[in-house]
């Protein structure tokens, strides 16, 4: 149980980043262009996590066949979760209904918890590094979520309560993944990293990048923000070695 407590503490970080981004939306409203750039940076960070930390570690421990199949499985899990969120919202993603927004972010925090719990089963230092990356990505996402809820006339108190409740899926997923994988074979532990890489890749491209395009058209600034976000995580990863 003692080895679980640090993992749960790390799982709080992405939820806190999401909440802080939402709280910022209550006091500051940047232009659509700035919000789009922030979301592009978040996509860069998430893809850097996949490219720098998750897939290389999985590839070093497993065969390419196992990594590829696990990556596909992770992508399929994202599609199933996304379909569930769409159904919960009545299939109207364009309308940004409250429950679609809530479900989408809950799924994202659930994946954050899975990332931290799975990586913590390999090394706490790896879980810490990935948690930092998730915080950097969750700040602009939390802002976008709170702004969307406000646009759907959700009262401030309810908005803040909904944002705070995202800690539940993050903690539950981290505990589940860590307890399930801490004594498992390398096939399951590193396969989980590859599966999460597939889930995270689709979430970044299909969900967060789509949100970024809703807030602003493509621009050189957005492209630079994407590259900068990727490089930022690479620098953070190198500094934490």
CA-nearest of 197, 170, 186 to 52 is 197
Mean pLDDT of 35-52: 84
Q: For 60-109, what is each residue's pLDDT tens digit?
A: 888 999 999 999 999 998 888 777 766 665 544 444 455 666 666 777 78
**Where do we find the tokens 């939402």?**
22
**Token representation of residue 47:** 């893809």
Mean pLDDT of 5-26: 87
Q: Check residue 85 and give its pLDDT.
A: 65
CA dist 11 and 130 (Å) reads 10
Please state the pTM of the whole predicted model. Answer: 0.78
CA dist 224 and 37 (Å) reads 8
CA dist 83 and 205 (Å) reads 16
Burial (Cβ within 10 Å: 0-12, 13-18, ≥19) of residue 31: exposed
Q: For 184-238, what is each residue's pLDDT tens digit?
A: 888 888 898 899 889 888 888 887 777 777 766 667 888 898 898 899 888 888 8
Q: Check residue 240 and give its pLDDT.
A: 72
Residues 6+ apart with CB under 8 A from 20: 139, 142
CA-nearest of 35, 44, 45 to 223 is 44
Mean pLDDT of 128-136: 85
- H, E, C per residue of the chain: CCCHHHHHHHHHHHHHHHHHHHHHHHHCCCCHHHHHHHHHHHHHHHHHHHHHHHHHHHHHHCCHHHHHHHHHHHHHHHHHHHHHHHHHCCCCCCCCCHHHHHHHHHHHHHHHHHHHHHHHCCCHHHHHHHHHHHHHHHHHHHHHHHHHHHHCCCCHHHHHHHHHCCHHHHHHHHHHHHHHHCCCCHHHHHHHHHHHHHHHHHHHHHHHHHHHHHHCCCCHHHHHHHHHHHHHHHHHHHHCC
Q: Check residue 95 and give its pLDDT.
A: 42
Out of 30-44, 91-105, 128-142, least confident range: 91-105
* Per-chain mean pLDDT for the chain: 81
Mean pLDDT of 114-137: 85
| pLDDT greater at residue 236 or residue 59 | 59
Q: Check residue 94 and give its pLDDT.
A: 44
């Amino acid at each position: 149980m003692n080895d679980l407590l640090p993992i749960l503490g790390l799982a709080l970080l992405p939820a806190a980043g999401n909440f802080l981004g939402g709280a910022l939306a209550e006091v500051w409203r940047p232009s659509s262009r700035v919000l789009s750039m922030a979301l592009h940076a978040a996509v860069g960070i998430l893809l850097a996590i996949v490219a720098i930390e998750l897939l290389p570690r999985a590839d070093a421990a497993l065969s390419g066949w196992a990594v590829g199949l696990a990556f596909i499985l992770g992508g399929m899990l994202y599609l199933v979760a996304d379909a569930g969120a769409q159904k919960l919202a009545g299939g109207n993603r364009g309308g940004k209904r409250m429950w679609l927004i809530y479900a989408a972010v809950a799924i994202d925090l659930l994946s954050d918890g899975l990332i931290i719990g799975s990586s913590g089963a390999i090394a706490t230092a790896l879980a810490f590094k990935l948690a930092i990356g998730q915080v950097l990505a969750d700040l602009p996402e939390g802002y976008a979520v709170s702004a969307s809820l406000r646009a759907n006339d959700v009262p401030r108190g309810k908005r803040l309560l909904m944002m705070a409740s995202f800690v539940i899926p993050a903690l539950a997923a981290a505990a589940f993944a860590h307890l399930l994988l801490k004594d498992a074979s390398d096939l399951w532990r590193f396969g989980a990293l590859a599966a999460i890489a597939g889930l995270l890749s689709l979430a970044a491209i299909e969900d967060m990048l789509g949100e970024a395009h809703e807030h602003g058209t493509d621009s050189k600034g957005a492209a630079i923000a994407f590259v900068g976000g990727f490089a930022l995580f690479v620098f953070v990863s190198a500094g934490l070695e």
